[in-house]
Structure 1
Amino acid sequence: MEGLAMLRQLIGQLQELVGSHPPPPHYHHHLQLQFQPPLLRHHHSQQQPQDHHHHLRWCPINVDEGAADDYYSLMMAAGKSRSFKMLEPCKPPPTKRSRKEQTRGKSSGTTNTTEPMEQHIWKDFPEDLYEAVIARLPIATFFRFRTVCRKWNSLLDSETFSQHCAEVPQATPWFYTITHENVNSGAMYDPSLKKWHHPTIFSLPTKLIVLPVASAGGLVCFLDIGNRNFYVCNPLNQSFKELPARSVKVWSRIAVGMTLNRSSASGGYKILWVVCDGEYEVYDSVTNSWTRPGIMPSGVKLPLSLNFRSQAVSIDGTLYFMRSDPEGIVSYDMATGIWKQFIIPTPLHLTDHTLAECGGRIMLVGLLSKNAVTCVCIWELQKMTLLWKEVDRMPNIWCLEFYGKHVRMTCLGNKGLLMLSLRSRQMNRLVTYNVSSREWLKVPGCVVPHGKKRQWIACGTAFYPSLTAVA
């Protein structure tokens, strides 16, 4: 009974308050439904309002003796859950602020939640953990924050940082290319961010046209257009070396391959050049010298008739070159110095074909043309039969763009992710193909900084970006 008396007293106060401050119609409706029993509430919800302009009246609630406990329990539960609040003076509904006002409020600093860094905590942060975190950041991110202070910039010379970088799995290869408009500077493409970078390698000669011809371990091998001088450089950290002069003067065109030196405990890399008449030399970065390991075996038919449009492929220290007459592949093992020849006929109607590799597999990419139809096709070499098996084609909707056009193709990178330059008089397209996922993607146009004209890619090579590789 005491609870019933308190409830009636509260209702009386509510009625007096409502009489002096009548709430808006929607407020009446909300409160009336809140205080009604479930059955009455359900009955009220089924009734449709006849007149939208008719104001609902405030109806006092009759509380009888039998329902006192139920209403008392309802009031107490509402109070504990804070879903029931005493009536307050009516407040207008919140209005939506414009975007301009919201921006002005943020810029005024009224909602600034930035907390200062605790210097006494971060100064004791473990150095090895700090380097391990940075080694796993995207390559482009590292070059943005290395300019913050000397300590961060000096990480490139840290031996422990090099070890952390070596533990990180190889990222997606980048592409170093040369454009027709500016042959003395390169353009690098990062496929993970789909962004072009324009580095300046200050040590490369500016009076000569120097082209990228091979890569290994984050290093890119350059050869001047006169086939005289070799250069090795890491485009990311500017590590540079000009190789010593070759012992054999060759003026004809040469094919070049590059591998990491697996036979030496000190690491390093090796570079091989070979010409069609069988002359070849090997450069070892450990000894910094060129050597002539031997002569071409009689089992390899000379002249080699090398396909110079196709870059060499490196798999487990062995280089593979494409040749014609007879059609096939010649290989050279950098560790043992053994040459081998494989007779492999190429598919019919194939042009501009080049070798590629993915996960130890030898691939072939080329233009398949018949009548007025041209398509880019991918083949894989079957080791048991030494035959090419077609595994994928460019989507048909893309190939329609080539219909009736004389299209030429250049492969700018052949390390798992291929970059293909497709061009004609009316077209210049760059696409990438992921051999593992069989995904075709279009590459955005290469535009120099502060420029608008799209650059035409002349040549290029793929390389795995490395922050610590030294030439």
Structure 2
Amino acid sequence: MRQQIKDMAKDALVVHGRTKKRKASGEAHASPTFSLDELSQDLLERVLSWLPASSFLRLRSVCKRWSSVSTSPTFQIACSQISFRDPWFLMVDHELNQSVIFDTSEGNWKGLIRPTGFSQAKQIAIASCDGLVCFRDTSGGGLEVCNPVTGARRELPLPEFTQPLHAISMSSFHKHSSFSSYRIVLVYGEFPNLSFRLFNSEKNQWEDEVILTHKAGDSSDTDISGGQTVYFLSKSGEVVATNMLRSPSKEFSSVSSIENGEEIVYFLSHSGTVMACNLSKRNFYEHPRLLPIYSEYSIDVVVCKGELMVVVLSEFLETASVRVWRFCKRSKSWRQVAAMPPSISHELYGKKADLNCDGCGDMIFVCLNSADFSSCVVCNVVENVWMELPKCVVNGEDKEFVSAFSFEPRVEACV
């Protein structure tokens, strides 16, 4: 690690014009030598801010000076100037334990460095953005925002409302400071009467309730999308209900994106249609159904490449397929953008697996889980490349995950 820091320090010194001049022509390729102790505090902090998160977490064990850097306010400012960090995925298993992460920069599994509070079953991860994760207290205590890297936490009591809750969304926004602020949106009500309330971290308060109007959307199934359950027989003779039953960690899952300067929250209705709540225009509408209502499938919504996509697991002609779709507003229809190779998806046939996803950048992280099957797959949407992740082994046993939430490991992310 010290050698890595030295290499990075040399690059930083070149930028700041502090490298020694080359001597003779015969020594033109000699590397400049210097001691890390020669670096000013400001330059050292700038160099260390470029370290991968997994390396940063080991800073304190190198020396006292580096340990002091890790808690320096100016170091946090330097870290905030790094535009993007490879994401980590906080994994949720059947017991709703959340103490394992997948590090995309190193491509391996890790135990959460600061597990305090994450192993408590009553706290379920429900949303994430930038370097923060939002948890819901299943005992009714409200929400909690946490930085998984530093362990900083903030409790947010839920505002009072008596109507059914449909979605909890978390998004970030930037003002004039070096650190991002965030807001949490609750969508609730009885269809077609929906409302939302918003928590603004800068104001440290819940704003007043906003009533959403029902805009004529692109769906022809508006009579059943609000939650009415339809029952039908599957090909195997089993009774199937359109009222989707989701994992507790995904019960109120939703995603948000900025489109033409307008913030839109997307979530799934109980019948499996994609609902869109335009917070800027204060209305909501439905997208057309991807598959006929009398069919079996598992579906989830993600934001990838800055736009809405849905991932669908379905069975047809004695095989299973996992496909990614993007909604085309011009044609008001869904278009396929990626498909899992049959060599991977065929194994899902007949497993009745539940599909839960999360998007980050060009990637979609897919958790597939059933009574006798479990797998985690990453899809690069741009290149249509799918990769199965290695099994995560804890205490000699394979862990099975039902969902995941992405976040950038950032020490400067404030709760």
TM range (shorter): 0.7 to 0.9
Q: Closer, same or farther in 2 for the Cα pair 1:426/1:220, shift >3 Å?
A: same
2:150–2:411 Cα contact (<8 Å) kept: yes
Residues 1:454 and 2:366 are matched in the alignment: no
Q: Distance in 1 between matches of 2:333 and 2:197?
A: 30
- C-alpha displacement at 1:122, in angstroms? 3.4
Partner of 2:323: 377
Partner of 2:3: none
Q: Closer, same or farther in 2 for the Cα pair 1:304/1:270, shift >3 Å?
A: farther
1:367-390 residue CA offsets vs partner (Å, 9 max, x unmatched): 021142111111111121221101
Partner of 1:469: 413
Q: Closer, same or farther in 2 for the Cα pair 1:154/1:432, shift >3 Å?
A: same
Instruction: Normalising by structure 1, report the TM-score.
Output: 0.66
Q: Distance in 1 between matches of 2:108 and 2:266?
A: 31
SS of residue in 2 equivalent to 1:146: helix
Q: Distance in 1 between matches of 2:143 and 2:345?
A: 38
1:279–1:295 Cα contact (<8 Å) kept: yes
2:304–2:364 Cα contact (<8 Å) kept: no
Partner of 1:344: 288
**Equivalent position to 1:215, from 128, 137, 154:** 128
1:226–1:251 Cα contact (<8 Å) kept: no
SS of residue in 1 equivalent to 2:211: coil
- C-alpha displacement at 1:297, in angstroms? 1.9
Letter in 1 for 2:363: L
Letter in 1 for 2:53: I
Residues 1:367 and 2:316 are matched in the alignment: no
Q: Distance in 1 between matches of 2:352 and 2:48?
A: 48
2:211–2:282 Cα contact (<8 Å) kept: no
1:80-117 residue CA offsets vs partner (Å, 9 max, x unmatched): xxxxxxxxxxxxxxxxxxxxxxxxxxxxxxxxxxxxxx
Relative to total residues, which structure has the larger strand share, 1 or 2?
Answer: 2
Letter in 1 for 2:71: D
Which structure 2 residues correspond to residues 392-431 of structure 1 after superposition, within 5 A?
Answer: 392-413=338-359, 416-431=362-377
Which structure 2 residues correspond to residues 30-109 of structure 1 after superposition, within 5 A?
Answer: none
**Equivalent position to 1:287, from 188, 203, 223:** 203
1:301-344 residue CA offsets vs partner (Å, 9 max, x unmatched): 798449765832222343222336693431233xx462332432
Residues 1:132 and 2:76 are matched in the alignment: no
Which structure 2 residues correspond to residues 155-194 of structure 1 after superposition, within 5 A?
Answer: 155-181=69-95, 183-194=96-107
Q: Closer, same or farther in 2 for the Cα pair 1:296/1:403, shift >3 Å?
A: closer
- C-alpha displacement at 1:209, in angstroms? 1.6
Q: Distance in 1 between matches of 2:105 and 2:404?
A: 18
1:199-234 residue CA offsets vs partner (Å, 9 max, x unmatched): 264653866521111111210000122454101111
Letter in 1 for 2:74: T
Specify every segment of 5 or more residues in structure 2 that has no aligned partner in the other structure, as ranges: 1-32, 217-221, 228-242
- C-alpha displacement at 1:461, in angstroms? 1.2
Q: Distance in 1 between matches of 2:59 and 2:71?
A: 16
Residues 1:246 and 2:158 are matched in the alignment: yes
2:369–2:402 Cα contact (<8 Å) kept: no
**Equivalent position to 1:440, from 386, 397, 403:** 386
Q: Percent identity?
A: 24
1:411–1:421 Cα contact (<8 Å) kept: yes
Q: Closer, same or farther in 2 for the Cα pair 1:423/1:169, shift >3 Å?
A: same
1:354–1:366 Cα contact (<8 Å) kept: yes
CA RMSD between the two structures: 3.1
Q: Closer, same or farther in 2 for the Cα pair 1:434/1:204, shift >3 Å?
A: same
Q: Closer, same or farther in 2 for the Cα pair 1:251/1:264, shift >3 Å?
A: farther
Q: Distance in 1 between matches of 2:170 and 2:287?
A: 23
- C-alpha displacement at 1:235, in angstroms? 0.6
- C-alpha displacement at 1:350, in angstroms? 6.1
Q: Closer, same or farther in 2 for the Cα pair 1:125/1:157, shift >3 Å?
A: same
Q: Closer, same or farther in 2 for the Cα pair 1:149/1:399, shift >3 Å?
A: same
Higher mean C-alpha deviation, range 254-263 or range 362-371: 254-263
**Equivalent position to 1:329, from 247, 269, 275:** 275
2:214–2:284 Cα contact (<8 Å) kept: no
Q: Closer, same or farther in 2 for the Cα pair 1:137/1:151, shift >3 Å?
A: same
1:430-471 residue CA offsets vs partner (Å, 9 max, x unmatched): 1111222322111122223xx100112133311122121111
Partner of 1:51: none
Partner of 1:318: 264
Q: Distance in 2 between matches of 1:207 and 1:142?
A: 27
1:254–1:275 Cα contact (<8 Å) kept: yes
SS of residue in 2 equivalent to 1:123: helix
1:359–1:416 Cα contact (<8 Å) kept: yes
1:16-52 residue CA offsets vs partner (Å, 9 max, x unmatched): xxxxxxxxxxxxxxxxxxxxxxxxxxxxxxxxxxxxx
Instruction: Normalising by structure 2, report the TM-score.
Output: 0.74
SS of residue in 2 equivalent to 1:297: strand
- C-alpha displacement at 1:267, in angstroms? 4.6
2:300–2:355 Cα contact (<8 Å) kept: no
Q: Closer, same or farther in 2 for the Cα pair 1:325/1:178, shift >3 Å?
A: closer
Partner of 1:225: 138
1:140-197 residue CA offsets vs partner (Å, 9 max, x unmatched): 111123322343233343333233223323133221122225x344211112212112
Q: How many pairs are equivalent?
A: 348
Letter in 1 for 2:76: S
**Equivalent position to 1:299, from 211, 215, 219:** 215
Letter in 1 for 2:136: L
Higher relative contact order (CA 8 A, sep 6+): 2
